Amino acid sequence: MNHTYETNHLYLKVLSHNEAHMVLDFYKRNYKEFALYEPLKAEDATNLNYHSVMLNYELQYFKKNQLLRLYLFEKTNPFQIVGTVSFRNINHSIYKCATLGYKMDKDFRRKGYMEEAISKGMEIMDKELSLRRVEAIVMPKNEPSIHLLEKLDFQREGLIRDKVLLNGCWEDHYLYSHIFQHN
């Protein structure tokens, strides 16, 4: 896998700990929105060292082809993160699968960027890693995310009850999957 990819409107990059300040800025701008859908503590979201450590962790697993987190930058502004797409739990054994995650800056939604970025990420999972399956979970009330997954040919497989503890409540999630159609 490469460290940098390009789409029509975006640069998609694997970052190092030296770029933690950009990740910190991204989370500071969007913490309230992200907290609705992920269990992230405020003290972590606003801590430069936390993001530096996480980028080191991600880079180590990237080198093992077990994780790919791409930070999204508009081509017109390559110094401000506008989103992120991740493929984690990449399994090359008999499962040949990964788990998709993504988040978009509140000021850059509804521009088609996430669809563009996930499409590129799916191409990488298919062509470069030869995976068979990518899974994603989404809260039933997250209609924009459900619409995006379905637009990208993910199929709903069912409901996972009490999947994630968010803000003190166990939340159900739908399980979606995309199966690559190669031999």
Question: From the centroid of its chain, how far is CA 54?
Answer: 14
Instruction: Look at residue 95 in the predicted model and tell me its pLDDT.
Output: 94
User: Which domains, ranges and CATH numbers included, belong to the chain?
Assistant: 4-132 (3.40.630.30)
Span 83-96, pLDDT tens digits: 999 999 999 999 99
Instruction: Look at residue 1 in the predicted model and tell me its pLDDT.
Output: 82
Distance CA 46, CA 162 (A): 28
Residues contacting 169, CB < 8 A, separation 6+: none
**Could you write out the DSSP letters of every residue in the chain?**
--SEEE-SSEEEE---GGGHHHHHHHHHHHHHHHTTTS---HHHHT-HHHHHHHHHHHHHHHHTTS-EEEEEEETTEEEEEEEEEEEEEEE-SSS-EEEEEEEE-GGGTTSSHHHHHHHHHHHIIIIIT--SEEEEEE-TT-HHHHHHHHHTT-EEEEEEEEEEEETTEEEEEEEEEEE----
Span 39-73, pLDDT tens digits: 777 787 889 999 999 999 999 999 999 999 999 99
**pLDDT class of 76 with cuts at 50, 70, 90:** very high
Rg (CA), the chain: 16
Instruction: Look at residue 84 in the predicted model and tell me its pLDDT.
Output: 98
pLDDT, mean of residues 117-140: 97
Distance CA 27, CA 17 (A): 15
Report the percentage of the chain scoring pLDDT > 70. 99
Distance CA 6, CA 135 (A): 23
